[in-house]
Structure 1
Amino acid sequence: MKRWEKVCREASVADVMFLVDSSRGPEKSRNVRDFLSTLVSGLDLGKDKIRVGLIQYSDMPSTEFSLNTYQRKEDVLRHIQALTFKHGGTQTGRALWFMLENHFLEIAGSRIQQGVPQIAVLITDGPTQDDIKEPVEAVKKAGVLLYAIGLQGAVFSELREVASNPDDKFIFEAADVSFLGDLSQNVLLALCTTIVEANPQGSQVSPDLARYPLCHPAASRMGEGKTWRGEWNTVQSGWNVV
């Protein structure tokens, strides 16, 4: 069994929104669809388990599906594989506002009032064309944990501004969209660890999972040949270099 599989077996409850920058159009769509499918396939979806939603954005954000649209994993995967990207500008700030105002709500399937962990995963490949400071602060103030996944063309300073702390837990980079597949298992490992640690029942990663080698997410830029080994520290909730 792979490391991420062990952790994801313990990741029982969360609301996860994927926010996908589609501004570059169809040339990256297959890789991003496959990446999203890998992440969703690794999660234990269900009405009382992990719920997922998806927004794509360019000049304007649009809902693909909400947290309460699908209960079966196969339905989510079918929608993702049929996803068609809408190219345009990169209005990340507007998309963040849209996500907060339309999706992290009880009517849209969010269980935020029940104390269920709220997580957003931003995937972007370019500099934003609008302000992100205010919406990022609002999303974080609402209690949402933010992951930032940067593809070729993304601005690292913007990824840092978006992502929750610490950077080395919530930021991932791929030098090219074709390397997303290589990144998927590390993202799943970090995402499931966050779900376990944020679980309202106070669940912790089991002791035998507290140490495992993997590529450091922020320092390892997939495709550039720069990787180093690390271990997850469940006490300090961060990565240690080994």
Structure 2
Amino acid sequence: MCLITDPSRRDVVFLLDGSDDSQERFPDIKDFVQRMVADLNIDSNKDRVAVVQYSNTADVNFDLRRYSAQDDVLDAVRGLSHKGGYPHNIGAALQYVRDHVFTSESGSRLLEGVPQILLLLSGGRSGDDIRTPVRKLKEIGVISIAIGTIDADTLELQTISHKPNYALSVNDYEELPSVTRDILSLFREASHHVEEITPTKAFGKI
């Protein structure tokens, strides 16, 4: 089955580094997410946004159903509390968003052909295996973009990403504004992505 995407609508999930290592830079992380949200067309029938933080475990701050107005999303991001914890279990975090966020119950419109975009921030090498969760996300058509600091593993970020050029690097989270334009360009490219998905993968359990 060829699932043709609707570029006027996007489901965007921010998977944020909430580990102990990111605590000092968490204001920079929130500022970056606000910059991204400000460029989206937030509406229940346009762009939807979810935010998840991870460290050794992952927690949803708000899912794709929660807010349908840009100001409400911006307020929620400003009010985020740092999760804390260690290490960076990116594999478990990817599996978590696959099972609990990119779902119809959580507001995902995957089965309606709406582009599913994951934006991961990583401040270090994963403490667990990423390969199976990455494969499962790609199987359902999620387009992943990964941004890592100097302490992240470049090959790991490229493995997670939809394409190698969907992986970007910054020295530290305070430099995130320098890649804002690149990320917005990838968002636009991802919005026009056409994914081949078999019916069993699209509608069955994986």
TM beyond 0.5: yes
Q: Does 1:22 align with 2:22?
A: no
Gaps of 5+ in 1: 1-9, 201-242
Name the structure 1 match of 2:77. Answer: 80
8 Å CA contact retained: 2:11, 2:47 = yes
Output the amino acid matched with 2:76. Answer: H
Aligned position for 1:156:
154
Q: CA deviation at 1:87?
A: 2.1
- Matched residues, percent identical? 31
Displaced runs of 4+ in structure 1, greater than 6 A? none
Q: Show the counterpart of 2:198.
A: none
Structure 1, residues 35-63: CA drift from partner, whole Å, max 9, x if none? Answer: 00000100111111011101001011000
Alignment correspondent of 1:46: 43
Q: Secondary structure of 1:80's partner?
A: helix
The answer as to 2:184 corresponding to 1:188 is yes
Higher relative contact order (CA 8 A, sep 6+): 2
Matches within 5 A, 1:86-165: 86-88=83-85, 89-165=87-163
How far did 1:160 drift?
1.0
Q: 2:171 aligns with which of 169, 175, 189?
A: 175
Size of the aligned set, in residue pairs, is: 188
In the other structure, the counterpart of 1:66 is 63
Alpha-carbon displacement from aligned partner over 1:147-171 (angstroms, at most 9, x marks no partner): 1111231110110110012x12x11
Asked whether the equivalents of residues 18 and 120 of structure 1 are also in contact (C-alpha less than 8 Å), the reply is yes
Deviation string, structure 1 residues 149-204 (Cα, Å, up to 9, x no partner): 11231110110110012x12x11111122211111122112212321x2379xxxx
Q: Is contact 2:14–2:119 with CA below 8 Å preserved after alignment?
A: yes
Deviation at 1:69, TM superposition (A): 0.4
Whether the 8 Å contact between 2:88 and 2:125 is mirrored in structure 1 is yes
Structure 2 residue ranges without an equivalent (≥5) = 1-5, 196-206
Residues 64-94 of structure 1: CA distance to partner in whole angstroms, max 9, x if unpaired? 0000100011111111111121222111111
TM-score (norm 1): 0.75
Cα separation, 1, equivalents of 2:175 and 2:108 = 31
Q: Is contact 2:7-2:114 (8 Å) kept?
A: no
CA-atom RMSD in angstroms:
1.6
Output the TM-score relative to the length of structure 2: 0.87
**Residue 57 of structure 2 aligns to which amino acid in structure 1?**
M
Aligned residues of 2:7 and 2:115 also touching (Cα < 8 A): no
